[in-house]
Amino acid sequence: MNEVLEELQWRGLIAQHTDLDALSDALDEGPVTYYCGFDPTAPSLHHGHLVAVKVMRHLQMAGHKALALVGGATGLIGDPRDKGERTLNTKDVVAGWAEALRSQLESLLDFTGDNPAQIVNNLDWTEQLSAVDFLRDLGKNFRMGTMLSKDIVARRLASEEGISFTEFSYQILQANDYLELFRRYGCTLELGGNDQWGNLIGGMDLIHKLEGESVHVLTNPLITKADGTKFGKTEGGAIWLNPEMFSPYKFYQFWLNTADEDVIHMLKVFTFLSREEIEELEVAVQERPGAREAQRALAEAVTTWVHGAEATERVRNASAALFGRSDIAGLDEQTLRDAVAELPQAEISLGTPFVQAFVDAGLEKGLGAARRTIASGGLSVNNVKLTDNELVCSDEHVLPGGIVLLRKGKKNLAVAYIK
């Protein structure tokens, strides 16, 4: 089997395929042009999109030609989903989101060197279609029975809400994307999530009908945890790649908190670490689970890929400072704010006794309890042990952003904001 396909299989990145042997032969013969589509249904990609981008990047590193399709047209329509009809966003909103996705994809794939990736937008050809062209040139090639039998369509038809013709027609538009890319760029491989299998097959069939050529489809699996549940959302929702929607600090912590039973699988899926490096980390998980070496490697690799090495260094420093392993005063304001955003909070004024601040932040039940903990060496301010029961908050204690970090013991943290 072709080397890059073997690598994808080892990493658990292949779910379904049309003819793996034929695809392997095609990849062996020379560069294959392939594409994956990303619809702008939100202002950012999320961590789930990284799986498809990872497959794209592996193929690109093996010398094949990457087309990243931003769905400026299909994003206006909306891919059918289980939860009912999507809200149709305005053209201006979708165009803005499409540009945001373009920018993110440009940072995740390689657009330089001898084999640069290329961004395409399906609005370029879809907006040229008239209703008559859509029905005559495309619609006549699709059988209603096949379209109605697709899993998502069948489920929506059986629901109380049903499905609109708008969303029902999405599969024709996606099939046409593959046809257009085949004609314009010689694209012969479409990638996508496993839930897109039916739509991907539709494009393959359309090319065979109109061009008489055989092309390929390959899907990546839905990433699940060891217990079978979906790997992903936090209490706050999706793991967005946009740092303004999900801070690099929270992003880093999300990967750092991966369970031992899941971390090796996630290293294979989401990082470019070699087999040897991952196998070494697997031994570390078994022999030194408390060190969390694999989790740190995962968090650093994915955060660096998405946000860059400088952001990773900032959040790593913030994490170390937050838990008393380095100087918290050296952090910049935004990183510090991100690091303390999930902590219990209190609002105090300059001149407030720290014993009162610990009570206000919920770390102590009363002033007497706070004084007793100080006597036993259990309270600290900005990682400096508090020894004076009467010490009050002054300018020298205030970190960038009006923040004062309060700690009880090693793990109980809170933040006081200066009014």
Which residue is listed with tokens 């660096």? 304
Is the distance from CB of 295 to CB of 255 less than 8 angstroms? yes
385 is catalytic: no
Write down the catalytic residue from 18, 74, 174, 219.
174
Catalytic site includes residue 419? no
Q: Does 195 qualify as catalytic in the annotation?
A: yes
Q: What is the widest separation between alpha-carbon atoms in the chain?
A: 85
374 and 386 in contact (C-beta within 8 Å)? yes
- In the structure encoding, which two tokens stand for residue 395, read together? 């300018």
Is 86 a residue of the active site? Answer: yes
Active-site entry in 81, 110, 146, 195: 195
Q: Measure Cα distances from 93 to 40, 42, 81, 100, 181 in Å.
A: 9, 9, 20, 11, 25
Secondary element (H or E) of residue 345: strand 345-348
Task: Check residue 334 and give left, alpha or beta (phi > 0: left; psi -120 to 50: alpha).
Answer: alpha
| Nearest-angstrom CA–CA distance, 46 and 375 | 47
CB proximity list for 397: less than 8 A, separation 6 or greater: 381, 382, 404
Catalytic, 265? Answer no
User: 113 in the Ramachandran plot: left (φ > 0), alpha (ψ -120 to 50) or beta?
Assistant: left
Q: Tell me the residue ranges of DSSP E strands in 165-297.
A: 189-193, 216-220
Query: Does 230 qualify as catalytic in the annotation?
Result: yes
Q: Are strands 412-418 and 403-408 parallel, antiparallel or unpaired?
A: antiparallel
Query: Active-site residue 33, yes or no?
Result: no
Q: 46 an active-site residue?
A: yes
User: Is 49 considered catalytic here?
Assistant: yes
Active-site residue among 18, 41, 60, 196? 41
Q: How far apart are CA 254 and CA 234, in angstroms?
A: 8
Task: Kindly list the catalytic residues.
Answer: 41, 46, 49, 83, 86, 174, 195, 230, 233-234
